[in-house]
Protein backbone atom coordinates (compact mmCIF):
# COMPACT_ATOMS: atom_id res chain seq x y z
CA UNK A 1 0.00 0.00 0.00
CA UNK A 2 1.26 3.48 -0.89
CA UNK A 3 0.22 5.57 2.10
CA UNK A 4 1.23 8.84 0.49
CA UNK A 5 -1.15 8.04 -2.36
CA UNK A 6 -3.86 7.21 0.17
CA UNK A 7 -3.52 10.64 1.75
CA UNK A 8 -3.43 12.32 -1.67
CA UNK A 9 -6.57 10.52 -2.86
CA UNK A 10 -8.54 11.71 0.17
CA UNK A 11 -7.40 15.28 -0.47
CA UNK A 12 -8.24 14.97 -4.15
CA UNK A 13 -11.78 13.90 -3.34
CA UNK A 14 -12.21 17.24 -1.58
CA UNK A 15 -10.16 19.53 -3.78
CA UNK A 16 -10.86 18.27 -7.31
CA UNK A 17 -13.83 20.66 -7.57
CA UNK A 18 -11.32 23.51 -7.20
CA UNK A 19 -9.26 22.16 -10.09
CA UNK A 20 -6.56 20.39 -8.08
CA UNK A 21 -4.99 17.45 -9.92
CA UNK A 22 -4.05 14.28 -8.04
CA UNK A 23 -0.48 14.49 -9.37
CA UNK A 24 -0.13 18.07 -8.07
CA UNK A 25 -1.43 17.10 -4.65
CA UNK A 26 0.90 14.11 -4.52
CA UNK A 27 3.96 16.18 -5.39
CA UNK A 28 3.07 18.78 -2.74
CA UNK A 29 2.75 16.31 0.14
CA UNK A 30 5.73 16.45 2.52
CA UNK A 31 7.15 14.38 5.34
CA UNK A 32 7.00 16.38 8.61
CA UNK A 33 10.36 16.96 10.32
CA UNK A 34 9.00 15.49 13.56
CA UNK A 35 7.10 12.15 13.42
CA UNK A 36 4.90 13.41 16.27
CA UNK A 37 3.45 15.90 13.79
CA UNK A 38 2.21 13.11 11.54
CA UNK A 39 3.41 10.84 8.77
CA UNK A 40 2.48 13.12 5.84
CA UNK A 41 1.65 16.80 5.59
CA UNK A 42 -0.11 18.85 2.93
CA UNK A 43 0.62 22.62 2.79
CA UNK A 44 -2.40 24.81 2.02
CA UNK A 45 -0.64 28.02 0.94
CA UNK A 46 -1.48 27.65 -2.77
CA UNK A 47 -5.16 27.14 -1.97
CA UNK A 48 -5.47 30.53 -0.26
CA UNK A 49 -6.02 32.49 -3.49
CA UNK A 50 -8.49 29.96 -4.88
CA UNK A 51 -10.56 29.52 -1.70
CA UNK A 52 -10.10 33.14 -0.47
CA UNK A 53 -9.25 32.03 3.05
CA UNK A 54 -6.12 31.88 5.13
CA UNK A 55 -4.02 28.72 4.73
CA UNK A 56 -4.59 27.90 8.43
CA UNK A 57 -8.38 28.15 8.04
CA UNK A 58 -8.26 25.94 4.94
CA UNK A 59 -6.16 23.34 6.77
CA UNK A 60 -8.63 23.31 9.66
CA UNK A 61 -11.59 22.92 7.30
CA UNK A 62 -9.98 20.09 5.32
CA UNK A 63 -8.96 18.19 8.46
CA UNK A 64 -12.58 18.23 9.70
CA UNK A 65 -13.90 16.87 6.39
CA UNK A 66 -11.63 13.81 6.18
CA UNK A 67 -12.81 11.21 8.67
CA UNK A 68 -10.38 8.63 10.09
CA UNK A 69 -10.57 5.10 8.74
CA UNK A 70 -8.63 1.82 8.74
CA UNK A 71 -5.72 3.37 6.81
CA UNK A 72 -5.64 7.01 7.93
CA UNK A 73 -6.13 6.89 11.69
CA UNK A 74 -6.12 10.65 12.26
CA UNK A 75 -6.19 13.93 10.31
CA UNK A 76 -5.26 17.13 12.13
CA UNK A 77 -4.48 20.73 11.22
CA UNK A 78 -1.23 22.32 12.35
CA UNK A 79 -1.00 25.90 11.18
CA UNK A 80 -1.16 25.91 7.37
CA UNK A 81 -0.66 22.14 7.14
CA UNK A 82 -3.03 19.19 7.06
CA UNK A 83 -1.26 16.35 8.86
CA UNK A 84 -2.09 12.71 8.20
CA UNK A 85 -1.41 9.94 10.69
CA UNK A 86 -1.48 6.45 9.20
CA UNK A 87 -2.38 3.30 11.11
CA UNK A 88 0.98 2.26 12.58
CA UNK A 89 0.41 -1.49 12.48
CA UNK A 90 -0.80 -1.41 8.90
CA UNK A 91 2.09 0.87 7.95
CA UNK A 92 4.72 -1.40 9.52
CA UNK A 93 3.24 -4.50 7.90
CA UNK A 94 3.02 -2.89 4.44
CA UNK A 95 6.59 -1.54 4.41
CA UNK A 96 8.47 -4.40 6.10
CA UNK A 97 6.67 -7.17 4.22
CA UNK A 98 7.38 -5.41 0.92
CA UNK A 99 11.09 -5.07 1.72
CA UNK A 100 11.23 -8.73 2.77
CA UNK A 101 9.44 -9.83 -0.40
CA UNK A 102 11.38 -7.69 -2.88
CA UNK A 103 14.79 -7.87 -1.21
CA UNK A 104 17.54 -6.26 -3.32
CA UNK A 105 14.85 -5.10 -5.79
CA UNK A 106 13.13 -2.92 -3.19
CA UNK A 107 13.16 0.61 -4.57
CA UNK A 108 13.46 -0.53 -8.17
CA UNK A 109 10.96 1.10 -10.50
CA UNK A 110 10.01 1.54 -14.14
CA UNK A 111 9.76 5.35 -14.15
CA UNK A 112 12.47 5.52 -16.83
CA UNK A 113 11.45 2.36 -18.67
CA UNK A 114 11.69 2.75 -22.44
CA UNK A 115 14.23 5.58 -22.08
CA UNK A 116 17.70 5.29 -23.61
CA UNK A 117 20.16 7.44 -21.70
CA UNK A 118 23.72 7.93 -22.98
CA UNK A 119 26.17 9.07 -20.32
CA UNK A 120 29.57 10.63 -21.04
CA UNK A 121 31.65 10.64 -17.85
CA UNK A 122 35.11 10.21 -16.30
CA UNK A 123 37.05 10.83 -19.56
CA UNK A 124 40.67 11.28 -18.38
CA UNK A 125 43.46 12.37 -20.69
CA UNK A 126 45.48 9.43 -22.01
CA UNK A 127 49.18 9.25 -21.05
CA UNK A 128 48.57 11.28 -17.90
CA UNK A 129 48.02 9.90 -14.39
CA UNK A 130 44.49 9.52 -13.12
CA UNK A 131 44.31 12.31 -10.55
CA UNK A 132 41.82 13.41 -7.93
CA UNK A 133 40.28 15.97 -10.27
CA UNK A 134 38.65 13.04 -12.05
CA UNK A 135 36.87 11.81 -8.91
CA UNK A 136 33.63 13.84 -9.21
CA UNK A 137 32.83 12.98 -12.83
CA UNK A 138 33.86 9.36 -12.30
CA UNK A 139 31.94 8.54 -9.10
CA UNK A 140 28.90 10.74 -9.77
CA UNK A 141 28.67 9.28 -13.27
CA UNK A 142 28.97 5.70 -12.01
CA UNK A 143 26.29 6.27 -9.35
CA UNK A 144 23.87 7.87 -11.81
CA UNK A 145 24.50 5.01 -14.26
CA UNK A 146 23.34 2.51 -11.61
CA UNK A 147 20.45 4.68 -10.45
CA UNK A 148 19.12 5.14 -13.99
CA UNK A 149 19.27 1.40 -14.59
CA UNK A 150 17.50 0.79 -11.26
CA UNK A 151 14.69 3.04 -12.47
CA UNK A 152 14.26 1.10 -15.71
CA UNK A 153 16.34 3.04 -18.24
CA UNK A 154 18.58 1.49 -20.88
CA UNK A 155 21.85 3.22 -19.98
CA UNK A 156 24.96 3.45 -22.15
CA UNK A 157 28.11 4.55 -20.35
CA UNK A 158 30.82 6.10 -22.51
CA UNK A 159 34.34 7.05 -21.46
CA UNK A 160 35.23 9.86 -23.86
CA UNK A 161 38.99 9.59 -23.41
CA UNK A 162 41.26 12.50 -24.24
CA UNK A 163 43.34 10.43 -26.66
CA UNK A 164 44.25 12.87 -29.44
CA UNK A 165 45.96 16.24 -29.86
CA UNK A 166 49.19 18.17 -29.51
CA UNK A 167 50.08 16.43 -26.24
CA UNK A 168 50.93 13.28 -28.20
CA UNK A 169 53.27 15.15 -30.51
CA UNK A 170 55.07 16.44 -27.43
CA UNK A 171 55.15 12.98 -25.90
CA UNK A 172 56.65 11.44 -29.03
CA UNK A 173 59.40 14.07 -29.10
CA UNK A 174 60.18 13.52 -25.41
CA UNK A 175 60.15 9.74 -25.81
CA UNK A 176 62.51 9.79 -28.78
CA UNK A 177 64.89 12.20 -27.03
CA UNK A 178 64.79 11.11 -23.39
CA UNK A 179 62.98 7.80 -23.08
CA UNK A 180 63.22 4.12 -23.91
CA UNK A 181 60.77 1.29 -24.51
CA UNK A 182 62.00 -0.56 -21.43
CA UNK A 183 61.48 2.46 -19.17
CA UNK A 184 57.98 3.10 -20.52
CA UNK A 185 57.01 -0.58 -20.25
CA UNK A 186 58.18 -0.62 -16.65
CA UNK A 187 56.98 2.81 -15.52
CA UNK A 188 53.70 2.98 -17.43
CA UNK A 189 51.71 6.19 -17.13
CA UNK A 190 54.08 7.54 -14.47
CA UNK A 191 56.97 7.36 -16.95
CA UNK A 192 54.83 8.92 -19.71
CA UNK A 193 54.01 11.79 -17.37
CA UNK A 194 57.70 12.21 -16.55
CA UNK A 195 58.47 12.48 -20.25
CA UNK A 196 55.65 14.98 -20.77
CA UNK A 197 56.95 17.18 -17.93
CA UNK A 198 60.50 16.80 -19.28
CA UNK A 199 59.34 18.07 -22.68
CA UNK A 200 57.98 21.28 -21.17
CA UNK A 201 61.09 21.83 -19.10
CA UNK A 202 63.36 21.44 -22.11
CA UNK A 203 61.09 23.33 -24.51
CA UNK A 204 61.56 26.46 -22.39
CA UNK A 205 65.24 26.28 -23.24
CA UNK A 206 64.70 25.10 -26.83
CA UNK A 207 61.47 26.59 -28.29
CA UNK A 208 62.02 24.73 -31.58
CA UNK A 209 60.81 21.59 -29.79
CA UNK A 210 57.24 22.93 -30.03
CA UNK A 211 57.51 22.97 -33.82
CA UNK A 212 58.93 19.44 -33.70
CA UNK A 213 55.93 18.32 -31.63
CA UNK A 214 53.47 19.92 -34.08
CA UNK A 215 55.23 18.13 -36.92
CA UNK A 216 54.68 14.79 -35.21
CA UNK A 217 51.00 15.63 -34.70
CA UNK A 218 50.70 16.35 -38.44
CA UNK A 219 52.31 12.98 -39.09
CA UNK A 220 49.68 11.36 -36.87
CA UNK A 221 46.91 13.18 -38.73
CA UNK A 222 48.39 12.09 -42.07
CA UNK A 223 48.55 8.44 -41.06
CA UNK A 224 52.32 8.09 -40.56
CA UNK A 225 52.82 4.56 -39.27
CA UNK A 226 55.65 5.34 -36.82
CA UNK A 227 53.69 8.18 -35.27
CA UNK A 228 50.49 6.14 -35.04
CA UNK A 229 52.32 3.12 -33.68
CA UNK A 230 53.76 5.16 -30.81
CA UNK A 231 50.38 6.82 -30.22
CA UNK A 232 48.62 3.44 -30.03
CA UNK A 233 51.28 2.14 -27.64
CA UNK A 234 50.86 5.12 -25.30
CA UNK A 235 47.08 4.67 -25.43
CA UNK A 236 47.21 0.93 -24.72
CA UNK A 237 49.52 1.43 -21.72
CA UNK A 238 47.31 4.17 -20.30
CA UNK A 239 43.97 2.46 -20.78
CA UNK A 240 45.23 -0.83 -19.33
CA UNK A 241 46.47 1.02 -16.26
CA UNK A 242 43.24 2.97 -15.83
CA UNK A 243 41.17 -0.19 -16.07
CA UNK A 244 43.29 -2.38 -13.80
CA UNK A 245 44.52 0.11 -11.22
CA UNK A 246 41.69 2.60 -10.97
CA UNK A 247 38.35 1.58 -12.47
CA UNK A 248 38.58 -2.00 -11.21
CA UNK A 249 39.37 -0.73 -7.73
CA UNK A 250 36.34 1.58 -7.85
CA UNK A 251 34.15 -1.21 -9.25
CA UNK A 252 33.47 0.80 -12.41
CA UNK A 253 33.35 -0.25 -16.05
CA UNK A 254 32.08 1.40 -19.20
CA UNK A 255 30.08 0.09 -22.13
CA UNK A 256 32.40 1.91 -24.54
CA UNK A 257 35.85 3.48 -24.32
CA UNK A 258 35.51 5.71 -27.38
CA UNK A 259 37.82 8.68 -27.09
CA UNK A 260 38.31 11.79 -29.17
CA UNK A 261 40.31 9.95 -31.85
CA UNK A 262 37.26 7.81 -32.65
CA UNK A 263 35.63 10.85 -34.25
CA UNK A 264 38.58 12.00 -36.39
CA UNK A 265 36.95 10.82 -39.63
CA UNK A 266 33.56 12.25 -38.68
CA UNK A 267 34.39 15.93 -38.15
CA UNK A 268 34.73 17.00 -41.78
CA UNK A 269 31.05 16.16 -42.25
CA UNK A 270 30.15 18.50 -39.39
CA UNK A 271 32.06 21.42 -40.93
CA UNK A 272 30.61 20.68 -44.38
CA UNK A 273 27.04 20.60 -43.07
CA UNK A 274 27.50 23.83 -41.13
CA UNK A 275 28.86 25.45 -44.29
CA UNK A 276 26.01 24.12 -46.46
CA UNK A 277 23.46 25.49 -43.99
CA UNK A 278 25.08 28.91 -44.00
CA UNK A 279 26.06 28.79 -40.35
CA UNK A 280 29.84 28.82 -40.77
CA UNK A 281 31.50 32.22 -40.90
CA UNK A 282 35.12 33.35 -41.18
CA UNK A 283 36.67 35.26 -38.30
CA UNK A 284 40.38 36.07 -38.30
CA UNK A 285 41.08 33.08 -40.51
CA UNK A 286 39.14 30.71 -38.22
CA UNK A 287 35.68 29.34 -38.96
CA UNK A 288 32.98 30.02 -36.37
CA UNK A 289 29.25 29.89 -35.72
CA UNK A 290 28.11 33.35 -34.57
CA UNK A 291 26.03 33.09 -31.37
CA UNK A 292 25.85 36.80 -30.53
CA UNK A 293 22.04 36.91 -30.76
CA UNK A 294 21.96 34.24 -28.04
CA UNK A 295 24.28 36.26 -25.79
CA UNK A 296 27.12 33.80 -26.19
CA UNK A 297 30.62 34.10 -27.67
CA UNK A 298 31.15 32.53 -31.11
CA UNK A 299 31.54 28.75 -31.27
CA UNK A 300 34.89 27.92 -32.89
CA UNK A 301 34.65 25.04 -35.37
CA UNK A 302 37.94 25.21 -37.34
CA UNK A 303 41.23 26.90 -36.50
CA UNK A 304 42.90 29.14 -39.03
CA UNK A 305 45.14 26.22 -40.05
CA UNK A 306 42.07 24.03 -40.66
CA UNK A 307 42.47 22.05 -37.43
CA UNK A 308 39.41 21.01 -35.46
CA UNK A 309 38.51 22.02 -31.92
CA UNK A 310 36.59 20.54 -29.00
CA UNK A 311 33.17 21.75 -30.21
CA UNK A 312 33.74 20.11 -33.62
CA UNK A 313 34.62 16.83 -31.93
CA UNK A 314 31.70 17.02 -29.49
CA UNK A 315 29.18 17.75 -32.26
CA UNK A 316 30.52 14.84 -34.31
CA UNK A 317 30.26 12.58 -31.25
CA UNK A 318 26.66 13.70 -30.60
CA UNK A 319 25.66 12.92 -34.20
CA UNK A 320 27.28 9.47 -33.94
CA UNK A 321 25.56 8.72 -30.61
CA UNK A 322 22.15 9.81 -31.86
CA UNK A 323 22.49 7.71 -35.00
CA UNK A 324 23.90 4.67 -33.16
CA UNK A 325 21.87 4.64 -29.94
CA UNK A 326 18.89 6.90 -30.76
CA UNK A 327 19.07 8.28 -27.23
CA UNK A 328 16.28 10.02 -25.38
CA UNK A 329 18.86 11.87 -23.29
CA UNK A 330 22.60 12.34 -23.69
CA UNK A 331 24.25 13.52 -20.48
CA UNK A 332 27.70 15.09 -20.18
CA UNK A 333 29.21 15.07 -16.70
CA UNK A 334 32.00 17.64 -16.47
CA UNK A 335 33.02 20.48 -14.16
CA UNK A 336 30.89 23.57 -13.84
CA UNK A 337 33.33 25.83 -15.72
CA UNK A 338 32.60 23.99 -18.97
CA UNK A 339 28.94 25.04 -18.93
CA UNK A 340 29.44 27.70 -21.61
CA UNK A 341 31.21 25.24 -23.92
CA UNK A 342 28.27 22.87 -23.80
CA UNK A 343 25.67 25.63 -24.10
CA UNK A 344 27.44 26.85 -27.25
CA UNK A 345 27.63 23.62 -29.17
CA UNK A 346 24.19 22.47 -27.97
CA UNK A 347 22.87 25.68 -29.54
CA UNK A 348 24.82 24.96 -32.76
CA UNK A 349 23.17 21.54 -33.05
CA UNK A 350 19.79 23.21 -32.61
CA UNK A 351 20.59 25.83 -35.26
CA UNK A 352 21.46 22.99 -37.63
CA UNK A 353 17.80 22.00 -37.40
CA UNK A 354 17.99 18.97 -35.09
CA UNK A 355 15.20 19.02 -32.53
CA UNK A 356 17.00 16.42 -30.43
CA UNK A 357 19.40 19.19 -29.36
CA UNK A 358 16.98 19.64 -26.45
CA UNK A 359 17.91 16.14 -25.29
CA UNK A 360 21.58 17.07 -24.84
CA UNK A 361 22.22 17.91 -21.22
CA UNK A 362 25.27 19.15 -19.35
CA UNK A 363 25.35 17.86 -15.77
CA UNK A 364 27.73 20.32 -14.05
CA UNK A 365 29.98 19.17 -11.22
CA UNK A 366 31.96 20.90 -8.51
CA UNK A 367 35.68 20.55 -7.88
CA UNK A 368 37.51 18.64 -5.16
CA UNK A 369 39.87 20.39 -2.77
CA UNK A 370 41.83 19.23 0.28
CA UNK A 371 42.49 20.51 3.76
CA UNK A 372 46.09 21.58 4.10
CA UNK A 373 48.42 19.04 5.59
CA UNK A 374 46.03 16.11 5.27
CA UNK A 375 47.78 14.39 2.36
CA UNK A 376 51.28 12.97 2.43
CA UNK A 377 51.62 11.78 -1.18
CA UNK A 378 52.08 14.40 -3.84
CA UNK A 379 53.54 14.03 -7.31
CA UNK A 380 54.48 17.51 -8.40
CA UNK A 381 51.27 19.52 -8.36
CA UNK A 382 49.10 16.46 -9.02
CA UNK A 383 47.50 14.29 -6.35
CA UNK A 384 47.13 10.83 -7.85
CA UNK A 385 43.83 9.09 -7.20
CA UNK A 386 45.43 5.75 -6.38
CA UNK A 387 47.74 7.47 -3.89
CA UNK A 388 44.67 8.98 -2.24
CA UNK A 389 42.91 5.60 -2.15
CA UNK A 390 46.03 3.91 -0.76
CA UNK A 391 46.19 6.53 1.98
CA UNK A 392 42.50 6.03 2.81
CA UNK A 393 42.92 2.25 3.00
CA UNK A 394 46.05 2.57 5.16
CA UNK A 395 44.31 4.92 7.60
CA UNK A 396 41.24 2.63 7.70
CA UNK A 397 43.39 -0.42 8.45
CA UNK A 398 44.93 1.50 11.34
CA UNK A 399 41.45 2.21 12.75
CA UNK A 400 40.46 -1.46 12.36
CA UNK A 401 43.65 -2.64 14.09
CA UNK A 402 42.86 -0.30 16.95
CA UNK A 403 39.14 -1.03 17.34
CA UNK A 404 38.69 -4.59 16.05
CA UNK A 405 42.10 -6.31 15.73
CA UNK A 406 40.56 -9.77 15.54
CA UNK A 407 38.49 -9.00 12.42
CA UNK A 408 38.85 -11.64 9.70
CA UNK A 409 39.87 -10.34 6.24
CA UNK A 410 41.04 -7.02 7.68
CA UNK A 411 42.82 -5.96 4.49
CA UNK A 412 39.79 -6.68 2.32
CA UNK A 413 37.53 -4.76 4.68
CA UNK A 414 39.97 -1.85 4.89
CA UNK A 415 39.97 -1.66 1.08
CA UNK A 416 36.16 -1.61 0.94
CA UNK A 417 35.86 0.98 3.70
CA UNK A 418 38.78 3.20 2.63
CA UNK A 419 37.72 3.36 -1.02
CA UNK A 420 34.08 3.71 0.04
CA UNK A 421 34.99 6.65 2.27
CA UNK A 422 36.51 8.57 -0.64
CA UNK A 423 33.57 7.79 -2.92
CA UNK A 424 30.92 8.65 -0.31
CA UNK A 425 32.65 11.95 0.55
CA UNK A 426 32.17 12.97 -3.09
CA UNK A 427 28.52 11.89 -3.18
CA UNK A 428 27.29 13.37 0.08
CA UNK A 429 26.65 16.91 -1.20
CA UNK A 430 24.94 18.27 -4.28
CA UNK A 431 27.02 17.41 -7.34
CA UNK A 432 27.59 21.07 -8.31
CA UNK A 433 29.11 21.95 -4.95
CA UNK A 434 32.87 21.98 -4.47
CA UNK A 435 34.02 19.27 -2.07
CA UNK A 436 36.64 19.96 0.60
CA UNK A 437 37.96 16.52 1.44
CA UNK A 438 38.58 15.95 5.14
CA UNK A 439 40.13 12.74 6.47
CA UNK A 440 38.45 13.21 9.83
CA UNK A 441 34.98 13.46 8.30
CA UNK A 442 35.50 10.89 5.53
CA UNK A 443 36.81 8.14 7.82
CA UNK A 444 34.56 8.80 10.80
CA UNK A 445 32.55 5.80 12.02
CA UNK A 446 30.15 8.11 13.83
CA UNK A 447 29.58 11.06 11.50
CA UNK A 448 27.87 11.51 8.16
CA UNK A 449 30.27 9.30 6.23
CA UNK A 450 30.62 6.15 4.18
CA UNK A 451 32.20 4.16 7.05
CA UNK A 452 29.28 5.19 9.29
CA UNK A 453 26.76 3.75 6.81
CA UNK A 454 28.88 0.64 6.23
CA UNK A 455 29.32 0.13 9.98
CA UNK A 456 25.57 0.45 10.57
CA UNK A 457 24.97 -2.16 7.88
CA UNK A 458 27.53 -4.47 9.51
CA UNK A 459 25.87 -3.93 12.90
CA UNK A 460 22.48 -4.90 11.45
CA UNK A 461 23.98 -8.02 9.86
CA UNK A 462 25.58 -8.97 13.18
CA UNK A 463 22.23 -8.65 14.98
CA UNK A 464 20.59 -10.84 12.35
CA UNK A 465 23.27 -13.52 12.67
CA UNK A 466 22.65 -13.66 16.43
CA UNK A 467 18.87 -13.47 16.18
CA UNK A 468 18.19 -15.75 13.23
CA UNK A 469 15.41 -15.28 10.69
CA UNK A 470 12.09 -13.78 11.73
CA UNK A 471 10.14 -16.93 10.90
CA UNK A 472 6.37 -17.23 11.12
CA UNK A 473 3.69 -14.57 11.44
CA UNK A 474 4.86 -11.23 12.74
CA UNK A 475 2.88 -9.07 15.13
CA UNK A 476 3.54 -5.66 13.59
CA UNK A 477 1.71 -3.90 16.41
CA UNK A 478 4.91 -4.46 18.42
CA UNK A 479 6.55 -1.81 16.22
CA UNK A 480 4.25 1.10 17.05
CA UNK A 481 6.79 2.99 19.19
CA UNK A 482 8.17 6.29 17.86
CA UNK A 483 11.68 4.96 17.16
CA UNK A 484 10.46 1.97 15.14
CA UNK A 485 8.04 4.09 13.14
CA UNK A 486 10.78 6.61 12.35
CA UNK A 487 12.92 3.80 10.91
CA UNK A 488 10.00 2.38 8.95
CA UNK A 489 9.20 5.83 7.54
CA UNK A 490 12.78 6.10 6.26
CA UNK A 491 12.46 2.67 4.66
CA UNK A 492 9.16 3.70 3.05
CA UNK A 493 10.75 6.83 1.52
CA UNK A 494 13.68 4.96 -0.06
CA UNK A 495 12.03 4.27 -3.47
CA UNK A 496 10.98 7.91 -3.71
CA UNK A 497 14.55 9.09 -2.97
CA UNK A 498 15.93 6.92 -5.77
CA UNK A 499 13.42 8.28 -8.28
CA UNK A 500 14.25 11.83 -7.17
CA UNK A 501 17.99 11.14 -7.56
CA UNK A 502 17.41 9.99 -11.14
CA UNK A 503 15.09 12.88 -11.96
CA UNK A 504 17.40 15.55 -10.51
CA UNK A 505 20.68 13.81 -11.46
CA UNK A 506 21.66 13.99 -7.77
CA UNK A 507 23.12 10.85 -6.11
CA UNK A 508 23.45 12.79 -2.87
CA UNK A 509 19.70 12.35 -2.36
CA UNK A 510 20.42 8.64 -1.88
CA UNK A 511 23.54 9.10 0.27
CA UNK A 512 21.81 11.62 2.55
CA UNK A 513 18.84 9.29 2.91
CA UNK A 514 21.12 6.41 3.91
CA UNK A 515 22.64 8.56 6.64
CA UNK A 516 19.14 9.50 7.86
CA UNK A 517 18.19 5.83 7.94
CA UNK A 518 21.35 4.98 9.89
CA UNK A 519 20.68 7.73 12.42
CA UNK A 520 17.08 6.56 12.90
CA UNK A 521 18.16 2.92 13.17
CA UNK A 522 20.89 3.65 15.73
CA UNK A 523 18.41 5.67 17.78
CA UNK A 524 16.08 2.66 17.69
CA UNK A 525 18.89 0.21 18.52
CA UNK A 526 20.12 2.28 21.47
CA UNK A 527 16.65 2.42 23.02
CA UNK A 528 15.21 -1.02 22.24
CA UNK A 529 16.67 -4.48 22.83
CA UNK A 530 16.30 -6.62 19.70
CA UNK A 531 17.54 -9.93 21.12
CA UNK A 532 14.91 -9.91 23.85
CA UNK A 533 13.48 -13.02 25.51
CA UNK A 534 9.95 -12.03 24.47
CA UNK A 535 9.49 -13.99 21.22
CA UNK A 536 6.91 -11.77 19.48
CA UNK A 537 8.84 -8.56 20.10
CA UNK A 538 12.10 -10.25 19.05
CA UNK A 539 10.50 -11.42 15.80
CA UNK A 540 9.07 -8.01 14.95
CA UNK A 541 12.27 -6.13 15.72
CA UNK A 542 14.34 -8.68 13.81
CA UNK A 543 12.14 -8.05 10.76
CA UNK A 544 12.85 -4.33 11.07
CA UNK A 545 16.61 -4.92 11.39
CA UNK A 546 16.50 -7.18 8.33
CA UNK A 547 14.77 -4.51 6.26
CA UNK A 548 17.34 -1.91 7.31
CA UNK A 549 20.23 -4.17 6.26
CA UNK A 550 18.61 -4.74 2.84
CA UNK A 551 18.04 -1.06 2.12
CA UNK A 552 21.48 0.02 3.32
CA UNK A 553 23.16 -2.56 1.09
CA UNK A 554 21.03 -1.59 -1.92
CA UNK A 555 21.74 2.09 -1.37
CA UNK A 556 25.47 1.58 -0.97
CA UNK A 557 25.54 -0.60 -4.09
CA UNK A 558 23.80 2.12 -6.11
CA UNK A 559 26.48 4.55 -4.96
CA UNK A 560 29.24 2.15 -6.01
CA UNK A 561 30.26 1.26 -2.44
CA UNK A 562 30.65 -2.20 -0.91
CA UNK A 563 28.67 -3.25 2.17
CA UNK A 564 30.89 -5.44 4.41
CA UNK A 565 29.18 -8.05 6.58
CA UNK A 566 31.58 -7.35 9.43
CA UNK A 567 33.68 -4.38 10.49
Confidence band (pLDDT; 50, 70, 90) for 247? very high
Sequence-ordered alpha helix ranges (H) in 289-409 = 310-325, 339-351, 385-403
Among 49-53, 372-376, 490-494, which is the least confidently predicted range? 372-376
Query: What percent of the chain has pLDDT above 70?
Result: 97
Q: Provide the pLDDT for residue 424.
A: 96
Active site residues: 128, 131, 134
Residue 373's pLDDT band (cuts 50, 70, 90)? very low
DSSP secondary structure, 176-235, as one string: HHH--HHHHHHHHHHHHHHHHHHHHHHHHH-THHHHHHHHHHHHHHTT-HHHHHHHHHHH
Q: Residue 443's pLDDT band (boundaries 50, 70, 90)?
A: confident
Residue 392 CA to residue 442 CA, distance in Å, equals 9
User: Is pLDDT of 376 > 50?
Assistant: no
- What's the pLDDT score for residue 174? 96
Indicate the pLDDT class of residue 54, thresholds 50, 70 and 90.
very high
pLDDT at residue 557 tops 70: yes
Question: What fold does the segment set 3-86 form as a domain?
Answer: Gyrase A; domain 2 (3.30.1360)
Residue-averaged pLDDT of the chain = 93
pLDDT in tens, 164-192: 988 999 999 999 999 999 999 999 999 99
Q: What is the CA radius of gyration of the chain?
A: 28
pTM above 0.85, yes or no: yes
Phi/psi of residue 372, each to 5°? Answer: -60, 140
Element at 520 (helix H, strand E) = helix 508-527
CA end-to-end span of the chain? 36
The reported pLDDT for the residue numbered 160 is: 97
Q: Which fold has domain 117-365?
A: Rossmann fold (3.40.50)
Hey, where are the domains in the chain? 3-86, 117-365
Amino acid sequence: MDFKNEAASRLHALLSKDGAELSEILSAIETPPDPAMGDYAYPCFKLAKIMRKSPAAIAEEISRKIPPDAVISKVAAAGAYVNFFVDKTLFARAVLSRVAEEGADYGKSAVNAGQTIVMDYSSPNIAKPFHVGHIPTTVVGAALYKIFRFTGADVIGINHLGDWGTQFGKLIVAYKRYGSRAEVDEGGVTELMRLYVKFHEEAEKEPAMDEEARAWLVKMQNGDEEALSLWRWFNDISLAEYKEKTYKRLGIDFDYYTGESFYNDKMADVADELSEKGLLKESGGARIVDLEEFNMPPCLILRSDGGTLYPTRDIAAAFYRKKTYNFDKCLYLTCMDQSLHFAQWFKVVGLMGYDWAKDLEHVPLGMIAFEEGKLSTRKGRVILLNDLLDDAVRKTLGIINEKNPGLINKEETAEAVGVGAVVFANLYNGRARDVCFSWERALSFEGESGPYVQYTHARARSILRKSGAAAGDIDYSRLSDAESIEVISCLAEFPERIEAAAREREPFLVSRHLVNLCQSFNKFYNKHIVLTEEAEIRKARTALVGAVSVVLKTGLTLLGIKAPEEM
